[in-house]
Amino acid sequence: MARKKVNLAWISKDSARKATFKKRKKGLIKKVSELSTLCGIKACAIVFGPSETTPEIWPPTAAAIRQVIEKFNDLPQVEKSKKMLNQEGFLRQRIAKLKEQQAKLAKDNKELEMKTKLIKGMKDKAALHGAGMDELHALMCIVDARMAKVRGRNESLVSYGPPCMQLPPQLMPMPPTLPPVPAALLREEERRQVQGMSFMEQQVPGEPQYLVDFLESLENYPTEWPYYVDGNQWTYPGPLL
């Protein structure tokens, strides 16, 4: 279940304000302790209550608090005040952020209003008769922006062609189905293959004849070959095999 958004405003009821302070103070001390333990950093918290004479601190020892404060005071003034906020600065920051959001929403609403008026003017020219110069200029800017977008899209299609769209599997065309082969043709083809194999076995009963002839010719081959050295001598280099 989502947590309800807290309204950041001063709590007017005294009892509710004290209960909230006690609860939030405890949560703040716990978060500082977790941050120091998990990240291994020096941190401290000093919380003054509206009706308390002594503040609540973490770490609980004054020496540890003093060490962190001295380290902070040793920093240059620019570093110390970089992210420092008091209540006034925090409120100014929130106001600036809200004004920025308001300006963005006002711009979006104005664009939506102009687009609606443009659509009405395309349907009925009388809808633009009461428009002022500022509104007509805004409408012209919208039309120019749309035309530039259309031209860019057209140039992209001319240069690269339309994007290739892949159909889902259920819309992909199925391959054509071949007609079944008649059983008579299958039997005839099997008979021809069997006859062809029988014919080959009859023609080649054992070793092929060309291989037999080749082996017989090797028996009559000389194993040594002379070669001519000079005009009167023959020399034999030795057996070939």
Q: Is the pLDDT of residue 179 over 70?
A: no
Residue pair 97/89 in contact by the 8 Å Cβ criterion: no
pLDDT value for 156: 84
The pLDDT of residue 229 is 47
Q: Which domains does the chain have, with CATH numbers?
A: 14-84 (3.40.1810.10), 89-160 (no CATH)
pLDDT band at 240 (very low <50, low <70, confident <90, very high): very low
- The model carries a pTM of 0.41
- Residue 94 identity (one-letter amino acid): R
pLDDT digits (tens, 9 = 90+) for 9-26: 888 899 999 999 999 999
Q: How would residue 228 be classed by pLDDT, with cut points 50, 70 and 90?
A: very low
Burial code (b: 16+ CB inside 10 Å, e: under 16) for 123-162 equals eeeeeeeeeeeebeebbeeeeeeeeeeeeeeeeeeeeeee
- pLDDT given for residue 103 in this prediction: 95
Name the β-bridge partners of 46.
57
210: pLDDT strictly greater than 60: no
Q: How high is the pLDDT of residue 66?
A: 92
**pLDDT tens digits for range 80-90:** 888 888 888 88
pLDDT at position 204, please? Answer: 47
